[in-house]
Structure 1
Amino acid sequence: MKKESYIGIMSGTSMDGIDVVLCRIDRYECQLIHAEEYPFPPELKEKLLQAIKGKTTLAQIGRVHIELAILFAEAVNTFLYTYDIDPKTVTAIGSHGQTLWHEPQGEFPFSMQLGDPSTLAARTRIPVVADFRAKDVAMGGQGAPLAPSFHQFLFQEVSESIAVVNIGGMANITIPGKTLIGYDTGPGNVLMDLWCQTHTGESYDKNGAWAGTGKINFTLLEKMLRENYFSQPYPKSTGREKFNKEWISRFAEEERLRSEDMQRTLLELTAVTICNELLKFQRDIAVLSGGGAKNTFLVERIKALIPNINVIIAENADMLEAMMMAWLAFKRIHNEHINLKDVTGAKENGILGGIYR
């Protein structure tokens, strides 16, 4: 088949920017053509955080649902203009949206994302594929992580020797192979970002420089590592519902630390929880992707904790999630199942996402 053009949009748990990519895709390759990052307005981020905390009204959630879609549409239209792309040449946009709440277990499991796909389609005049998690949850799965299926596709030629770790707001691990394994290891950047925003006013700790000025509090780190999530067997997934500012506050109240020492301890928590999972699998290479792969100090700590594993940074590491959205849109447009049941625990693989024209 001939390659088709798809746009992928991803803002992620950290809400530190909006990634937009154009990919040329067929059944064998997802080729990145163009990529841009656009700013995420602090006011909208605050509205979303208030909604996630439940400190808002249904009407306000509805408004944010549309406001976010308009922001995505503006980013896409700017992207199209910048690269002189005719919207008619784009088969579809894959949009994850912003997760409001992810609760895949319980009597009425669900995963809810904001960023109205109908508004996005109307304002870009391009079909939109969205709501990727709902079908998997409906079939008894966690609905997350989605990344392992894309990692399996990307690294199919070397799948038996590598592990892939995506460090976004949350971190997830993929073990490609005949039986695909993948799950969230725990917090990636989210706790470090929250602490940094509160104590420095910066949206994130660039290269882990601030964390590098602090010292690990091992007593506190041990307490953090007792979090039930870390000992749960896979399949499992997590998000801001668990790892948030309130989670940090529980520990900050127990141990009065310098703010940089807490940042250093949170960075070590991310590194240790990732490496604990990597060591469970006999892999020679760990490929890092996501925004956390740009945190040089975090990468140094991961390398130090697993000296017998070759740690490398993926090509286009910080754009892989947006590329995945484009690929998921391709799969949905062609009514192809996504190989995720072994990852999420769903009863069967499903065709994920809805199409909005």
Structure 2
Amino acid sequence: MRVIGLMSGTSYDAIDAAAAELTLDGDSLVLRPLGLVSEAYEDGLREALAAALPPAPTSLAEVCRLDTLIGQAFAATAVRADRELCGGEGELVASHGQTVYHWAADGQVHGTLQLGQPAWIAEATGLPVVADFRPRDIAAGGQGAPLVSLVDLLWLRGRPGTPVALNLGGIANLTAPDGTAFDTGPACALVDAAVRGLSGGRLDYDVDGALAARGTVHEPLLLRLLAEPYYALPAPKTTGKELFHLGYLRDALTGFGTLTAEDVIATLTRLTARTVADAVRAVRATEVIASGGGTRNPVLMAMLSEELPDVLLRTSDELGLPSNAKEAYAFAVLGFLTLHGLAGTDPASTGARHPSVLGSITPGRNGLRLPPRADRTPVRLMVK
């Protein structure tokens, strides 16, 4: 089955669409990557989205507007992916949508909201769409994140030692072979916020880590940031930009006088490396397989190597999954599992009471024809 996975992460810079040929082969799920297309959000939509995110106030009218416009943007990207990657023969779209709020309090997640109305995708592509993956896991008592953990577990199975999958998006998350999975804290979220805030909006992110490379880590600021209570919480746990945003950073800078932008960004980059490394050490990992936009920051990757001198650090590209497309491929897998009536969660990873079949299905132009239900969830993912 040719499945298109749609993903826009907490950096909300672009919509990624990865297409895969997915086949059940005994107890294995075989994934053949077909490629990736990526579409940046139109500037006005990106600005409207940024203006509506917590802690900023918004209105139901703006939520409705964003749900429609994001859905239309996802639909256009899916149409392009079907045409360019699947030759117009796609069979399913799996859309993560755009997370705008993850309601976490007192160590528990109470709800979540992803925008990007799937009806627009189904109408534009003619294909059935699986969307709204996270709420079912939350309803079952889980954190609703990191949802890619099941895919990571299938993919890591059989590797020697204790490998962990690490995603460096806006928020960093990892999955260990025993099912332990959690958000470690910010990956690029605070760095991006600092770059935008300190550049007056001229820059969106630290290109190639150039700003961090020119700065010096400010140890007192780093220590204050490391005192954030989230880092001491036990897994499973999840976080987001509801916590790690520009206002949070401004509060942390109080009392330090004037620091250069480069020193602040170097310190935040070290914060990501340190908190990720602490999490990796906690699960006694011997190998880290990293993916996500943060892997394109050579300063962050160098700092992570410094923090983990005895751990092999590599990117998912080396194992056949492009690091900039891995999460989109993961949601393609989750959509495939849903359509076949198979659970897409591992309770050990999210803290749910039981595994759940995820998401809601929006029929395509020709209605909905479900494939026969598979006997069981595959036990491994093979990338070919």
Fold-level similarity (TM above 0.5): yes
1:353 alignment partner in structure 2: 359
AA paired with 1:191?
A: L
In 2, the alpha carbon distance for the partners of 1:84 and 1:264 equals 42
In 1, the alpha carbon distance for the partners of 2:80 and 2:150 equals 30
2:325 alignment partner in structure 1: 319
In 2, the alpha carbon distance for the partners of 1:82 and 1:307 equals 42
Deviations 1:277-312 (A, max 9, x none): 111122221111111111111000000111000111
Does structure 1 residue 338 correspond to structure 2 residue 338? Answer: no
1:175 alignment partner in structure 2: 176
- CA shift for structure 1 position 75: 1.3
Q: Given that residues 97 and 115 in structure 1 are in contact (C-alpha distance below 8 angstroms), is that contact kept between their aligned partners in structure 2?
A: yes
Gaps of at least 5 residues in structure 2 are 364-384
Q: Given that residues 225 and 269 in structure 1 are in contact (C-alpha distance below 8 angstroms), is that contact kept between their aligned partners in structure 2?
A: yes
Deviations 1:200-241 (A, max 9, x none): 322211221111101111001001001010000011000011
AA paired with 1:92?
A: L
In 2, the alpha carbon distance for the partners of 1:127 and 1:254 equals 54
AA paired with 2:123?
A: A
**Number of residue-to-residue matches in the alignment:** 350
TM-score (norm 2): 0.88
Q: After the TM superposition, which residues 140-159 of structure 1 pair with which residues of structure 2 at under 5 Å, given as runs?
A: 140-158=141-159
1:190 alignment partner in structure 2: 189
Q: 1:330 to 1:320 in 2, by over 3 A?
A: same
In 1, the alpha carbon distance for the partners of 2:236 and 2:156 equals 21
TM-score (norm 1): 0.94
- CA shift for structure 1 position 161: 2.6
1:213 alignment partner in structure 2: 214
AA paired with 2:7?
A: M
1:14 alignment partner in structure 2: 11
In 1, the alpha carbon distance for the partners of 2:11 and 2:262 equals 20
Q: After the TM superposition, which residues 239-258 of structure 1 pair with which residues of structure 2 at under 5 Å, given as runs?
A: 239-255=240-256, 256-258=258-260
Q: 1:5 aligns with which of 2, 17, 31?
A: 2
Q: Given that residues 341 and 357 in structure 2 are in contact (C-alpha distance below 8 angstroms), is that contact kept between their aligned partners in structure 1?
A: yes
Q: 2:285 aligns with which of 283, 286, 298?
A: 283
In 1, the alpha carbon distance for the partners of 2:234 and 2:162 equals 23
Gaps of at least 5 residues in structure 1 are none
Q: Given that residues 185 and 239 in structure 2 are in contact (C-alpha distance below 8 angstroms), is that contact kept between their aligned partners in structure 1?
A: yes
1:30 alignment partner in structure 2: 31
- Percent of aligned positions with the same letter in both sequences? 31
Q: Given that residues 104 and 141 in structure 1 are in contact (C-alpha distance below 8 angstroms), is that contact kept between their aligned partners in structure 2?
A: no
In 2, the alpha carbon distance for the partners of 1:279 and 1:41 equals 40
In 2, the alpha carbon distance for the partners of 1:113 and 1:339 equals 18
- CA shift for structure 1 position 152: 1.1
Q: Given that residues 16 and 38 in structure 2 are in contact (C-alpha distance below 8 angstroms), is that contact kept between their aligned partners in structure 1?
A: yes
1:90 alignment partner in structure 2: 90
In 1, the alpha carbon distance for the partners of 2:105 and 2:355 equals 18
In 1, the alpha carbon distance for the partners of 2:119 and 2:286 equals 44
In 2, the alpha carbon distance for the partners of 1:197 and 1:348 equals 41
In 1, the alpha carbon distance for the partners of 2:78 and 2:172 equals 26
In 1, the alpha carbon distance for the partners of 2:205 and 2:274 equals 20
